[in-house]
Amino acid sequence: MAFELEYDRSLYGVEHKAGPFPVTLDVVKSFTQGIGETNPIFIDEAAAKAAGYAGLVAPPTLCTIFVRQVKLPDVKLNFGKSGMHAGQKVQSLAPIVVGDEITASSHLKDVYAKTGRTGTMAFVVWETSFSNQNGQVVAEVQESFARRE
């Protein structure tokens, strides 16, 4: 029998908009310095432009930092106590370059329970679509958060 979770199901189908988030040189530099990036396309504007890009290119998971700036409502999940970031999926659809303005649209994708050897866990999955100033979708991000019994 499926585990029946108690949470706010009215959140399904509701889009939560955020942004625009400016992709500044500072944002991309901090991101690339943090991960020790060495690819010239991501750290050298002249190299990026020589390769045909409009500006310094952001690494493909940059949008994950904007996900954290989207104010998402409490799903009121009545299960467990401590939570953790369980997983993340990024689909990169187009390059993001310095000067872009990125907007986000998030919705609740799924809430489900899974039972394994260590007990039951509940997962909350949010999906966010990111678009640039031209309306082009540049990335889709899914984040899942888990709570343990």
Structural tokens at position 99: 């000067």
130 binds another protein (CB under 8 A): no
116 binds another protein (CB under 8 A): no
**How big is the chain, counted in residues?**
149
Residue nearer to another protein on the CB measure, 14 or 25: 25
- Work out which of 7, 19, 20, 37 binds another protein, going by CB under 8 A: 37
CA atoms within 13 A on the CB side of 49: 5
Among the residues of 1-149, which ranges form H helices? 25-34, 40-43, 45-50, 63-67
How far apart are CB 107 and another protein at their closest, in Å? 19
Q: Facing residues of 84 across strands?
A: 146
Residues lying near another protein in the complex (CB under 8 A):
26-27, 30-31, 33-39, 41-42, 57, 59-61, 64-69, 84-92, 95
